Structure 1
Amino acid sequence: MNFRLKRTVFSTILFAASAVHTSSYAQATHEEIFDNIAVTGGVYYAYPAPGVQTKAPEGYEPFYISHFGRHGSRWLISDEEYIRVMEVFEKAHQAGKLTPLGEDVRKRLAIVWADAEGRGGDLSPVGVDQQRGIAERMYQAFPEVFKGAPEMSACATLVIRCVLSMDAFCERLKEFNPQLKIERESSNKYMPYLNFHTQEAMKFTSHKGPWYEEFRKFEKSHVRPERLMNSLFSDKEFVHKRVNPEELMRGLYAIASDMQDVEQEVSFYDIFEKQELFDIWQIHNYKNYVCDGPSPMTNGLMVANAKPTLENIIDAADEAIASGRNSATFRFAHDGN
């Protein structure tokens, strides 16, 4: 957000997201997370209702908004994430190896799949509402920027959930002021700053990176599926021969986490102990910190991925200041940068 006063400018980047990076919660205690177990969803933690909105400083008038937003809430990234879990339960059901709880979970999965099939990675109605809400709060908080018929720009990555997020956001603004001129684009032209990763960074984050072996051991020590498997399956021999307990637990965790991002009133949190969710959350937290955050072991590689984004933000703000007109730049991308 930029404010006018004797050519002095203050800039703030507003982040819109269906979820926030788990690294944001690196210092959270067990108690804080146990109070809201949905937080353990990490990138599937649905964008929470904001608190008090920051007003323009006294004597300043807002004239330009620079916005970088993640897409809204979505279904799991692919249909395969649901299918892998359901196939295990279906095989166990056919073999008569599910406990009453296991059968109940199988039925819940069928309800979820009826809604999710074919929608892997898609923006959900919850995500649409989030984007509309962010746009509405922005308009109401800074009406000066949107007066008259200002020219604004919006761009999104090529991923359809980002394009639809942009559309939901911009349409809500135009509902308040139909005169707004918002040029919307989704193009490879904008990918170098909307979703940029250096070759060095991608090499580092691979399984061959210097961080991975230590992470693998941490991961192994924090996925303990025995209790959960015993509650779902009636035959340990079947589990031993036909089930990958760690993979199934992680799959159920993902589905449980994503329920907050869709409109289905189904929950799987009852099958987990809070500590189990916390432990898996720690795994994702670890990985996000190293692969997308400021971990010292990366020597700045991940932070460097955001340089093109920052340069674009600065350049666009400079242009807005030089023009002397009210305007805004809206960007819709992903959380990695």
Structure 2
Amino acid sequence: MLKYFKATLLLLVLCTTYKLKAQTCNYPYLGTKTLYSVQVYKNTVPPARYQPIFINHVGRHGARHLTKEVNTSFAYKLLMHADSAGALTAEGQKLKDMVMALDKVEHGKVKSISGGGREELQGIGQRMFNNYPKVFAGSPRLNVAITKEIRTKQSADAFLNGLKAGFLDSAKISEYTDDTDLRFYDASPTYTAFEDGGNWQTVMHQLEQKLKIADVDTKIINRWIKPAFTETLKPAEIEKLVSDIFGFATIVPSLRVEIAKADMKPGSVNFISLFNCDEIEALSKIDVADDYLKKGPGTNKNGIQVRIAVPLLVNFINTTDQFIKNGDINAELRFAHAETISPFATLLGIDKASLLATDINQLSQSWRSDQVISLSSNIQWVFYRKKGSSNLLVKILLNEREVHINGLATKLFPYYQWQALRAFYLSKLNNLNVKLTDNMADYLKEVK
């Protein structure tokens, strides 16, 4: 009995110790690879007799696989080389085994959404129907826009499966590819130059110095690779190895379904266990700052990283105007990328997405990529009309949550007068010398 009591006591101590460790290391490190979550949420009741009539929507693709095969990564090649040279430590051997296991899970699946991603999108589609069934009454007509990437097509299909589950009649769906309005970041030479060497680099360098990120990378790699081999690596190679492995760590939560199908235990690809809490926080801060500076408000919320989203705003306004004029489309549904959602959210002035940070090291107080551009993140404009009236109200949702628009007041929050919101955005466009009739492909080529 005493022996049993001691064993039980030891187990309790170990469990308590593990729990405390997990609590102290509970930093939100996934950033843009955070799985989509829906908290208990209730729509604010609209003014009397107003009913939802139209939805304008854009969403990011769901949880996904890697975008490149594991065995083509810098980390894979370097670890194989180090292993053949007998330069891996015991921890490095463990890392190599994880990389090989991830390669098995991911082979042939890259660029696609995962099983978890399909579940995310189906859920969003189901909730859209459940929250606004009147929008989809009868035989609804839907415009569905995707990009050239297969994961947006897969995301649209999963979303529609969830949405159509509530339909009584079949829907009339028009699907098309729209890279101008949804992949605007690829079409602007000025933005490409900004990514390669914009003024964001100074801020990033300051953060790297503050976090001593070079020392963090070196400390990490010394646990994986023996000193004699490490000394042959350039600083950029050390940084790339750590970045690749941290990237593997952040993709694993998206692969729950696939890991189970491969008959693997989660520990087989538990890359995050190879980092300590301080390292996780430092590496995550670098990732989030990179997104904030290149895709969000950055150092200037009117900078090129935001202005490139103008085509999508023009498209939202024009498609809404078309609905008001013709009323023949029930919903405009678009499926794109994180690089689409974040600058668009900033351009719109959404409160959670457009604040400038006063201290990049305290960025989470102003902007968090896991809350703005998680996997399956989305922005919805939901329009309401009172029977017999031409007056339209609209509310804007970020990730299915009602949000404020900075710079525009309303007495009916979360509902805004459409004409007031439209005028607000037209003023923004006018300040950028943009008209609703402009050719957006030309705009992207010329914008500075």
**Hey, what's the Cα distance between the residues in 2 that align with 1:281 and 1:104?**
22
Aligned with residue 222 of structure 1, among 206, 213, 228:
213
Give the RMSD, CA atoms, in angstroms: 2.5
Range that drifts further, 69-78 or 293-302: 293-302
> 1:212 maps to what in 2?
201
Shift of 1:182: 4.1
**Hey, what's the Cα distance between the residues in 2 that align with 1:326 and 1:284?**
39
Q: For residues 241 and 203 of structure 1, do their structure 2 counterparts lie closer, same or farther at Cα, with a shift above 3 Å needed?
A: closer
Shift of 1:214: 5.0
Q: For residues 93 and 178 of structure 1, do their structure 2 counterparts lie closer, same or farther at Cα, with a shift above 3 Å needed?
A: farther
**Hey, what's the Cα distance between the residues in 2 that align with 1:245 and 1:182?**
53
1:43-92 C-alpha deviation (Å, 9 max, x unpaired): 21222234314244142211111110011111222126863222222223
**Hey, what's the Cα distance between the residues in 2 that align with 1:131 and 1:334?**
14
1:267-317 C-alpha deviation (Å, 9 max, x unpaired): 211111122122122222222222222234475322211111111112212
2:17 counterpart of 1:49: no
Range that drifts further, 141-150 or 42-51: 42-51
Question: What percentage of residue pairs aligned between the two structures are identical?
Answer: 26
Query: What are the within-5 Å matches in structure 2 for residues 70-89 of structure 1?
Result: 70-79=60-69, 83-89=73-79
- Structure 1: 5+ residue stretches without partners: 1-32
SS in 2 for 1:225: helix
Query: What are the within-5 Å matches in structure 2 for residues 1-337 of structure 1?
Result: 36-37=26-27, 39-59=28-48, 60-79=50-69, 83-177=73-167, 179-187=169-177, 190-197=178-185, 198-207=188-197, 209-216=198-205, 218-219=207-208, 221-223=212-214, 224-233=216-225, 235-241=226-232, 244-263=237-256, 264=259, 265=266, 266-297=269-300, 299-324=302-327, 327-337=330-340
**Hey, what's the Cα distance between the residues in 1 that align with 2:285 and 2:244?**
16
> 2:359 maps to what in 1?
none
- Asked if the contact 2:59/2:335 (under 8 Å) is kept, the reply is yes
- Asked if the contact 1:158/1:186 (under 8 Å) is kept, the reply is no
**Hey, what's the Cα distance between the residues in 2 that align with 1:34 and 1:287?**
25
Which one has a bigger Cα radius of gyration? Answer: 2
- Asked if the contact 1:41/1:254 (under 8 Å) is kept, the reply is no
SS in 2 for 1:73: coil
1:126-169 C-alpha deviation (Å, 9 max, x unpaired): 11111111101111111221222111111101111111111111
Q: For residues 95 and 104 of structure 1, do their structure 2 counterparts lie closer, same or farther at Cα, with a shift above 3 Å needed?
A: same
**Hey, what's the Cα distance between the residues in 1 that align with 2:335 and 2:130?**
20
**Hey, what's the Cα distance between the residues in 1 that align with 2:174 and 2:253?**
29
**Hey, what's the Cα distance between the residues in 2 that align with 1:216 and 1:247?**
16
Shift of 1:185: 2.2
> 2:435 maps to what in 1?
none
**Hey, what's the Cα distance between the residues in 2 that align with 1:89 and 1:273?**
20
SS in 1 for 2:231: helix
SS in 2 for 1:176: coil
Q: Which stretches of structure 1, 4 residues or more, deviate above 6 A after TM superposition?
A: none
* AA partner of residue 277 (structure 1): I
Range that drifts further, 65-74 or 259-268: 259-268
SS in 2 for 1:226: helix
Scaled by the length of structure 2, the TM-score of the pair is: 0.61
Shift of 1:216: 4.3
Q: For residues 279 and 159 of structure 1, do their structure 2 counterparts lie closer, same or farther at Cα, with a shift above 3 Å needed?
A: same
**Hey, what's the Cα distance between the residues in 2 that align with 1:162 and 1:122?**
9
- Structure 2: 5+ residue stretches without partners: 1-22, 260-265, 341-448
**Hey, what's the Cα distance between the residues in 1 that align with 2:284 and 2:304?**
24
Scaled by the length of structure 1, the TM-score of the pair is: 0.80
* AA partner of residue 252 (structure 1): I
**Hey, what's the Cα distance between the residues in 1 that align with 2:138 and 2:37?**
31
SS in 2 for 1:69: strand
Range that drifts further, 76-85 or 112-121: 76-85
Shift of 1:324: 4.5
How many residue pairs get aligned? The number is 300
**Hey, what's the Cα distance between the residues in 1 that align with 2:310 and 2:207?**
31
- Asked if the contact 1:55/1:141 (under 8 Å) is kept, the reply is no
SS in 2 for 1:331: strand
**Hey, what's the Cα distance between the residues in 1 that align with 2:239 and 2:36?**
28
Q: For residues 172 and 79 of structure 1, do their structure 2 counterparts lie closer, same or farther at Cα, with a shift above 3 Å needed?
A: same
* AA partner of residue 285 (structure 2): Q
* AA partner of residue 46 (structure 2): P
